[in-house]
């Protein structure tokens, strides 16, 4: 029995869900998200909540049960609250600024890095050393944040680079004489 799959996904006020076949479409204040479930589970909307139940007792049906419920929960959270990743830039002369739909990064290279922000994601730079990535799609928000971080990953000696705000950088001791 899936402990996650058993719980119904509550729909907050202002969020509606419609099921047609194996597709659920969730509408809310931050947009619309949809999820295509496999044939191993059944999706139903009743009493302001979405329930996911497995079809049969097979191992695949039980695997899809919890995963499908989590994907529906992510759709509901995305259209109601949205997802957010915060990045922090450490290093002398390292900075970021937004220019239109482009994030300009000075990361110690001989050239500036221009990062084009994809549709469906909002990137802001409240400070020169802080980047905030927001959107309704959890996977896209995480991928954009990872792509920005990839330009200069934090190094273990001084901690210079782009890191997540809640990330811990394991520090190494430098050379000794």
Residues 17 and 66 placed together within one structural domain of the fold: yes
User: Does the pTM of the predicted model rise above 0.95?
Assistant: no
By the 10 Å C-beta count (0-12 exposed, 13-18 middle, 19+ buried), 131 is classed as buried
Among 75, 54, 77, smallest CA distance to 5 is for 54
Q: Is 7 part of any domain?
A: yes
Q: How much is the pLDDT for 1?
A: 63
Q: How far, in Å, CA of 151 to CA of 159, rounded?
A: 14
107 and 74 housed in the same domain: no
**DSSP characters over 138-163:** HHHHHHHHHHHHHTSPPPTTT--EEE
Closest CA to 148 of 134, 173, 131: 131
**pLDDT tens digits for 67-78?**
999 999 999 999
Q: Which of 39, 58, 80 is the last residue of a domain?
A: 80
The answer for 84, left when phi > 0, alpha when psi is -120 to 50, beta otherwise, is beta
pLDDT score, position 94:
95
The whole-number pLDDT of residue 5 equals: 87
Q: What values do phi and psi take at 60, rounded to 5?
A: -65, -40
Domain that holds residue 72: 3-80
The number of folded domains in the chain is 2
169 domain residue, yes or no: no
Question: In which residue are the tokens 């497995």 written?
Answer: 54
- Is 11 in the same domain as 74? yes
Q: How many CB atoms lie within 10 A of CB 69?
A: 24
Residues 46-55 have pLDDT tens digits of 988 999 999 9
Question: What is the end-to-end Cα distance of the chain in Å, rounded?
Answer: 60
């Amino acid at each position: 029995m899936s402990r996650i799959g058993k719980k119904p996904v509550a729909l907050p006020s202002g969020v509606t869900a419609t099921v047609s076949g194996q597709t659920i479409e969730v509408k809310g204040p931050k947009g619309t998200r949809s999820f295509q479930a496999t044939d191993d589970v059944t999706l139903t909307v009743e009493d302001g909540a979405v329930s996911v139940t497995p079809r049969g007792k097979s191992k695949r049906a039980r695997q899809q049960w919890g995963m499908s419920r989590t994907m529906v929960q992510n759709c509901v959270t995305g259209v109601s609250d949205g997802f957010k990743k915060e990045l922090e830039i450490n290093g002398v002369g390292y900075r970021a600024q937004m220019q239109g739909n482009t994030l300009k990064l000075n990361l110690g290279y001989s050239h500036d890095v221009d990062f084009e922000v994809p549709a469906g994601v909002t990137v802001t730079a409240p400070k020169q050393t802080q980047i905030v990535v927001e959107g309704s799609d959890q996977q896209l928000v995480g991928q954009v944040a990872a792509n920005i971080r990839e330009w200069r990953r934090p190094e273990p000696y001084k901690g210079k680079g782009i890191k997540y705000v809640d990330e811990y950088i394991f520090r190494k001791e430098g050379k000794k004489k």
